[in-house]
Amino acid sequence: METPFAITLDVGSSRANHTGSWRVERPVYVDRLPPCNNACPAGENIQGWLYEAETGDYESAWRNLVEDNPFPAVMGRICFHPCETACNRGQLDEAVGINAVERFMGDLAIERGWSLPAAGPDTGKRILVVGAGPAGLSATYHLRRLGHQVRLVDSAKRLGGMMRYGIPAYRLPRDVLDAEIARIVDMGVEVELDHNVQDIELERREGGFDAVFLAVGAQLGRRVNIPAGDSSRVIDAVSFLNRVASDDPPMLGRRVVVYGGGDTALDAARTARRLGATDAVIVYRRNREHMPAHGEELEQALGEGVTMRWLSTVDRLDGDKLVLETMRLNESGFPEPTGEFEELGADSLVLALGQDTDLSLLSQASGVVVDDGVVEVLPTMMTGESGVFAGGDAVPADRTATVAIGHGKRAARGINAYVLGGASADGERNELATFDRLNTWYYSDAPRTRRPELERARRISTFDEVVGGLNEENALFEARRCLSCGNCFECDNCFGVCPDNAVIKLGPSMRYEFDYDFCKGCGICVKECPCGAIEMVPEII
| pLDDT tens-digit series, residues 4-47 | 333 333 333 444 445 556 778 999 999 999 999 999 999 999 99
DSSP states of 57-90 as a string?
A: -HHHHHHHHTTT-S-HHHHHHH---HHHHH-GGG
pLDDT in tens, 308-358: 999 999 998 888 899 999 999 999 889 999 999 999 999 999 999 988 888
Q: What is the DSSP letter of 512?
A: E
Q: By three-state DSSP, how is residue 319 classified?
A: coil
Domain shared by 194 and 268, yes or no:
no
Domain shared by 309 and 194, yes or no:
no
Domain shared by 256 and 350, yes or no:
yes
Is 66 inside a domain boundary?
A: yes
Q: By three-state DSSP, how is residue 296 classified?
A: helix
**Residue 3: pLDDT over 60:** no
Consecutive H or E run containing 99? helix 98-112
The C-alpha atoms of residue 55 and residue 525 are separated, in whole angstroms, by 25
Is 366 inside a domain boundary?
A: no
Domain shared by 299 and 245, yes or no:
yes
Q: By three-state DSSP, how is residue 534 classified?
A: strand
The predicted pLDDT at position 366 comes to 84
CATH value at residue 468: 1.10.1060.10
User: What integer is the mean pLDDT of 285-300?
Assistant: 92
CA 285 to chain centre: 28
Domain shared by 344 and 458, yes or no:
no
The predicted pLDDT at position 230 comes to 66
Write down which residue in 322, 355, 388 finishes a domain: 355
Q: Is 317 exposed, middle or buried (0-12, 13-18, 19+ CB in 10 A)?
A: buried
Domain shared by 289 and 408, yes or no:
no
The predicted pLDDT at position 396 comes to 87
Is 414 inside a domain boundary?
A: yes
Domain shared by 42 and 27, yes or no:
no
The predicted pLDDT at position 386 comes to 93
The C-alpha atoms of residue 429 and residue 409 are separated, in whole angstroms, by 17
Is 120 inside a domain boundary?
A: no
126-130 and 25-29 strand pairing: unpaired
**Residue 2: pLDDT over 50:** no
Is 404 inside a domain boundary?
A: yes
**Which residues face 356 on adjacent strands?**
220
- Contact (CB, 8 A) for 533 and 31: yes
DSSP states of 124-169 as a string?
A: S-EEEEE--SHHHHHHHHHHHHTT-EEEEE-SSSSS-THHHHTS-T
Could you tell me the residue range of the domain that residue 466 belongs to? 37-114+438-479
- Contact (CB, 8 A) for 98 and 87: yes
CATH value at residue 21: 3.30.70.20
For the chain, the average pLDDT equals 91
Helix, strand, coil percentages, rounded to 5, for the chain:
35, 20, 45
Domain shared by 339 and 453, yes or no:
no
The predicted pLDDT at position 1 comes to 35
Domain shared by 156 and 239, yes or no:
no
Residue 410 φ then ψ, to 5°? -65, -40
Q: By three-state DSSP, how is residue 389 classified?
A: strand
The C-alpha atoms of residue 488 and residue 204 are separated, in whole angstroms, by 49
Domain shared by 285 and 396, yes or no:
no
- Contact (CB, 8 A) for 72 and 62: yes
Domain shared by 392 and 275, yes or no:
no
First to last CA, the chain: 27
The C-alpha atoms of residue 84 and residue 474 are separated, in whole angstroms, by 17
Q: What is the DSSP letter of 539?
A: P
Q: Is 536 exposed, middle or buried (0-12, 13-18, 19+ CB in 10 A)?
A: middle
pLDDT in tens, 249-274: 999 999 999 999 999 999 999 999 99
CATH value at residue 200: 3.50.50.60
- Length of the chain in terms of residues written: 541
- pLDDT band with cut points at 50, 70 and 90 for residue 423: confident
Is 365 inside a domain boundary?
A: no
Residue (of 32, 21, 110, 37) closest to 73 by Cα position: 110
Is 207 inside a domain boundary?
A: yes
pTM of the model: 0.90
Structural domain total, the chain: 4
Domain shared by 106 and 77, yes or no:
yes
Is 368 inside a domain boundary?
A: no
The C-alpha atoms of residue 137 and residue 447 are separated, in whole angstroms, by 36
